[in-house]
Amino acid sequence: MKRRILSYRLAATHSLIAELPSFNDPVSISDYDAFILDMAGLGVEGTNATIFSRRQNEVRELLLLKGGVMVAVLRPNDQLPGSVNQFDRYSLIQFAAPSALALIRSSVRAGDGSRISVDATARGALSGYFRHMRENLRFSAYLDTDEANVTQAGGTVFAVNSVRKPVALEFVVGSARVCFIPVSQDVPGDRVGAAIARVIEAHFGGPAEVAEPAWAKEVAVPGADAHDGRIDELETEKSRIGEEIAGLTARRTGLLNYRRLLFGSGKTVLEPVVRAAFREVGFTVPDPEDYEGEWDVELRESGSSRTAVGEVEGPEGAIDIDKYRQLLDYFQAEVLEGRIHKGILIGNGYRLKELNAPERQNQFTEHALRGARQNGFCLLPTTELFKAVCAVLEAPENERLKIDIRNSILATVGVWSFSREVSTPTNATAEHSAG
């Protein structure tokens, strides 16, 4: 069977390789047997969240439903620009290889070099690539972790830099494979293409270049079609099971992502999970591109006119006045336009400290506390939001709990905390607990 390889922004040519000219092109990644790309190319030409989400699903279908291959140049990670800034470069494998994604997100670092040591004992599809290219490679990123952690995530290290940090590795995901390779240096595209074709060949267990001639299709082999019906049934079942696994895996990943409320920071890590947490407790929470303001979070309560705008901060120290002032600016600008919102400062202060550390119990400075009392703002620690989300997940049918959590957040002035017993405050200027 002649394999088909789709390439995006990777200088590799081969008879099996077709180029994806634009990330926005209607061509589907999952129509191919393998997808190869340079991670640095993502976001260069501009796209939107809908197209990026479609590509995420196509990669999932390629790997989990077809058992295909993805080969990517390992690059430093960062958020994508413009309307897809809720994604980072490695979000492309979010639904297909969550274990690999978690490892790479936590450990990939920028770093250039040409001293690469290949592990000759490593076994996998990438072996042929290094036999072909080992003298012409340069890395632009590495994983700040060790081989044991890669192995635990289902990966194999094929090459390391001079301080033994992985610069090339592959992950087996069911019957599929995700490979990360260094940058090729001063190598013609046809040579890069031939090396990558070897990876695809090794994965599928046979020469990818040999196409069955047309006349051979007419040669009958007794009994060859005896099991076609059963094969079709099993393929249908396999597809259903693959989709179910992918859905359950995505749900598990989404739930585990709530742990980022305890240590996360920034637009690509903390802000998306804060929005997801508010949705979990029943708020309507649009994505940033769906509202006009510049604030980090917008909350709407179904069935009422109550709304809130929020700023999110995840510093290694306390949450001070800077984010509060930014929230106040947004709040006052809306007031001048006749729109009144609740102001919520959402903080993950001292995010690297243990959860029971004293600093965690007093994340907001006195300046932020005084400002919140003056303007009726809620100061919401993400550690408390995590507790609320866990309570909702433990009792998903308890709509009263969700309503009480929403009411208490919208009514609280000062620091909000979660407890199992909910009481909506009667004094909207007092700090209180809710849950």
Model confidence over 24-44: pLDDT tens digits? 999 999 999 999 999 999 988
Average pLDDT over residues 282-293: 90
Q: Which residue has the higher pLDDT, 167 or 208?
A: 167
Average pLDDT over residues 189-215: 78
Which residues are CB-neighbours of 302 under 8 A, at least 6 positions away? 282, 284
- Please state, in angstroms and rounded to a whole number, the distance separating the CA atoms of residues 243 and 249: 10
At 267-283, the pLDDT tens digits run 888 999 999 999 999 99
| 5-213 to CATH, choices 3.40.1620, 1.20.58, 1.25.40, 3.40.50 | 3.40.50
Which architecture does CATH list for 258-434? 3-Layer(aba) Sandwich (3.40)
Mean pLDDT of the chain: 89
Res 99 pLDDT > 60: yes
Indicate the DSSP class of residue 88. B
- Please state, in angstroms and rounded to a whole number, the distance separating the CA atoms of residues 367 and 431: 16
- Please state, in angstroms and rounded to a whole number, the distance separating the CA atoms of residues 219 and 84: 51
How is the chain split into domains, by residue range? 5-213, 258-434
Q: Give the relative orientation of helices 399-411 and 382-394 as an angle to the nearest 10 degrees.
A: 160
- Residue 153's closest CA among 203, 74, 108, 97? 97
The per-residue pLDDT for 207 is: 44
Rg (CA), the chain: 26
Lowest mean pLDDT among 58-62, 139-143, 303-307: 303-307
Q: Which residue has the higher pLDDT, 134 or 117?
A: 117
The per-residue pLDDT for 186 is: 83
Average pLDDT over residues 219-245: 87
Question: pLDDT over 70 for what percent of the chain?
Answer: 94
At 402-421, the pLDDT tens digits run 999 999 999 999 999 997 66
